Every structure is written in structure tokens, then in C-alpha cells.
């Protein structure tokens, strides 16, 4: 079964745990890079760890959760080969895959509720990159 990487800071911990349960029940092999409690911690450390594992090929996709999703996406997008998409609705999730070939989904646990997060996640995991003209644009991003 497909491996999926999962990480959060303290603000995202609760939603991360719910996402882990959901993905496990759907048969995904979840690799949880932490954090492992609600004790205050630094989100870039988890973004860096998760993205390095994508770079190594441990999994194709990763999910990062913090309070807003913003810090995680900023950190993740500094990493070569990472295309992190901060999504607050299903349309962004679908397009971030179809057009931008995102490989990291960032969620803000203080911005969206559990049901919307799950719905965004389902759309994101089940949408494929369309390639074609979008490949040229993604390649331009990768050339930066």
C-alpha cells in the first residue's frame, strides 16, 4: 500500500492524529515524523524532516499541519523538489495536483475544521497531475 508522510507542530497535532487514523483505516502506510504531543515546538523542523524523506523517496506525498498551514508551506517550499500547497478548500486541493503537481499538502488546523480537512485530503490524494502544458510550468518552477 502507498506510503504517506505526515507531520505537524503542536498546533496541528490534534488534526494530525485524526488524519493518521483516517489514513490508516483507508489502508495507507503512514510515516509520522512528529510532533508527538501538544508541547510547544518549532514547525520548520518537522517540515524539513518530512521533505527530506520525500527527497529520499520514502514516499511520494506528504501532509503537514500547523495552526495556519502558512509556516509549514513556507518552510517546505524552500526544499528542492517540494511543491507544497496550502489548501483551505477542495478546489485548491484539486488544482494543486492537476496543474501544480503538488507533493505536500499543508493544512491549517486553526483555520479549517476536521470535516473540511478530511474532504480536502480525499480530493488531494485522489487527483492526478494532468501533465501537458502544466509540466512545462512545473519544470520552470523546478529550474529556480
Catalytic residues: 66, 99
**By CB under 6 A, residue 123 contacts ligand RB5:** no
Q: Do the beta carbons of residue 16 and residue 6 sit within 8 Å?
A: yes
What's the angle, vertex CA 24, arms to CA 109 and CA 83, rounded to 5?
Answer: 55
Nearer to ligand RB5 (CB atom), residue 30 or residue 75: 75
Total binding residues toward ligand RB5, as defined by CB under 6 A: 8
Considering the complex, state which of residue 11 and residue 19 has its C-beta at the smaller distance from ligand RB5: 11
User: Cell numbers at residue 140, please?
Assistant: 520552470
Report how far apart, in Å, the C-alpha atoms of 82 and of each of 26, 64, 110, 142 are: 25, 12, 24, 9
Please list, in sequence order, all residues whose beta carbon lies within 8 angstroms of the beta carbon of residue 17, skipping any fewer than 6 positions away: none
Q: Name the residue nearer to ligand RB5 (CB basis): 28 or 82.
A: 82
Beta carbon of residue 34, minimum distance to ligand RB5 (angstroms, whole number): 14
Q: Residues 3-42 vs ligand RB5: string with x where CB under 6 A?
A: ------x-x-------------------------------
Does position 68 bind ligand RB5 by CB under 6 A? yes
Give the length of the chain: 144
112 near ligand RB5, judged by CB under 6 A = no
Question: CA-to-CA distance for 128 and 131, rounded, in angstroms?
Answer: 9
Amino acid at each position: 500500500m502507498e506510503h504517506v508522510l505526515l507531520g505537524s507542530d503542536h498546533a496541528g497535532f490534534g488534526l494530525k492524529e485524526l488524519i493518521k487514523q483516517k489514513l490508516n483505516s483507508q489502508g495507507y502506510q503512514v510515516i509520522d515524523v512528529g510532533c508527538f504531543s501538544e508541547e510547544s515546538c518549532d514547525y520548520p523542523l518537522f517540515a524539513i524532516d518530512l521533505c527530506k524523506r520525500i527527497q529520499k523517496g520514502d514516499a511520494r506525498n506528504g501532509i503537514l499541519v500547523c495552526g495556519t498551514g502558512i509556516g509549514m508551506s513556507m518552510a517546505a517550499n524552500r526544499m528542492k523538489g517540494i511543491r507544497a500547497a496550502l489548501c483551505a478548500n477542495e478546489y485548491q486541493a484539486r488544482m494543486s495536483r492537476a496543474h501544480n503537481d503538488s507533493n505536500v499538502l499543508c493544512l491549517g488546523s486553526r483555520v479549517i475544521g476536521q470535516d473540511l480537512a478530511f474532504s480536502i485530503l480525499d480530493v488531494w490524494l485522489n487527483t492526478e497531475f494532468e501533465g501537458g502544458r502544466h509540466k512545462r510550468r512545473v519544470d520552470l518552477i523546478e529550474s529556480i
